[in-house]
Amino acid sequence: GEDVEQSLFLSVREGDSSVINCTYTDSSSTYLYWYKQEPGAGLQLLTYIFSNMDMKQDQRLTVLLNKKDKHLSLRIADTQTGDSAIYFCAEIPTGNQFYFGTGTSLTVIP
Q: Is 31 in the site for other proteins (CB under 8 A)?
A: yes
43 is a site residue for other proteins (CB under 8 A): yes
Q: Should residue 81 be labelled a site residue for other proteins when binding is judged by CB under 8 A?
A: no
Question: Which is closer to other proteins, CB of 8 or CB of 68?
Answer: 8
Three-state SS annotation for the chain: CCCCEECCEEEEECCCCEEEEEECCCCCCCEEEEEEECCCCCEEEEEEEECCCCEEEECCEEEEEECCCCEEEEEECCCCHHHCEEEEEEECCCCCCCEECCCEEEEEEC
- Residue 100 engages other proteins in binding (rule: CB under 8 A): yes
Q: Residues in contact with other proteins, total (CB under 8 A)? A: 22
